[in-house]
Structure 1
């Protein structure tokens, strides 16, 4: 399993997942904006499926 660095942020009901490069210079970093995917209560969980 490859360890990756990731982070998330929230703005209102939108969430952004940010993924770092898998290795320096790989150029495979990126982000995903999930619009309207969280409510206003602040206790929602976003679960992503495991990949192999």
Structure 2
């Protein structure tokens, strides 16, 4: 299984990410994510970060 870096925790109270990791802007690139839905299910996908 491929492992990555934990970039941000996003919740329904704060539903966005500012594009920073450890205070530095992430580069424009494609990123993959996995989210745990709270009912035992997970959802994964990807997005492109453009600056």
TM over 0.5: no
Higher percent of residues as strand: 2
TM-score by length of 2: 0.29
TM-score when scaled to structure 1?
A: 0.28
